[in-house]
Amino acid sequence: MRPSGRAPDEMRAITIETGFTKHAEGSCLVSFGETRVLCTASIEERIPPWLRGKGEGWVTGEYSMLPRATHTRGMREAAKGKQSGRTQEIQRLIGRSLRAVTDLKNLGERQITLDCDVIQADGGTRTASISGAWVALRLAVNTLMEQGSITQDPLTGKIAAISCGIYKGNPVLDLDYDEDSSADADANFVLIEGGQIAEVQATAEGATYDEEGLLRLLRLARIGCDRIFAAQDEATR
């Protein structure tokens, strides 16, 4: 039995509230159970220096966790004067994931930054960030197209992410904090609608697992991402 009482293939409740902030070109508050992430997309008519003259744009991500998003207060990274290795790794993952479904040439010479700020953490913050960031990016791209700034949609599809793990010997979908903190193995899957895999992060922590174990986690991830794709579709209609 999972601590939450959920079935092995049962996700937490997903909600996506769009237009959550006033000024960003695209924004949403995404919730996976008790995990809540504010995702905003900001369009800038500039590109990194190394892209100048190539006729294409850039999509990048930034990630942060509010000091009291967890059980105890964490120090702001700005106060420390540097980002943690975890923060840098997650925001690179967000950027790679969103670029996997973006035609940068169709975007034109502009940059879209996805800011993912964790308001409350109960496991799966990076996967919720990616799933919500796609919604914010979709809304920002819609704004560009409505303004006539671009004529061809640069988004080639939907992308979503979900965590899976082996908890007390059983593969389970969408780990919350209680499961994540004591799982024998955990994995984050970033999947593109239609079946393609963008990225997999899989780690054996308490016990190793075999090929079939990995495939069972992937099958659970496909179930989860299909549900996220449906929620993304509903949020961006």
pLDDT tens readout for residues 143-155: 999 999 999 999 9
Q: Which residues of 57-80 are buried (b: 16+ CB within 10 A; e: fewer)?
A: bbbbbbbbbeeebeeeeeeeeeee
Convert the pLDDT of each residue in 90-147 to its tens digit.
999 999 999 999 999 999 999 999 999 999 999 999 999 999 999 999 999 999 999 9
Q: Which of 12-16, 102-106, 209-213 has the lowest mean pLDDT?
A: 209-213
Q: What is the pLDDT of residue 206?
A: 83
Q: How far is CA 191 from the centre of its chain?
A: 10
Among 171, 153, 161, 140, which Cα is nearest to 9's? Answer: 171
Give 80's contacts (C-beta < 8 A, 6+ positions apart): none
The tokens for 184 are: 């024998």
How many CB atoms within 10 Å of residue 233?
A: 13
The residue count of the chain comes to 237
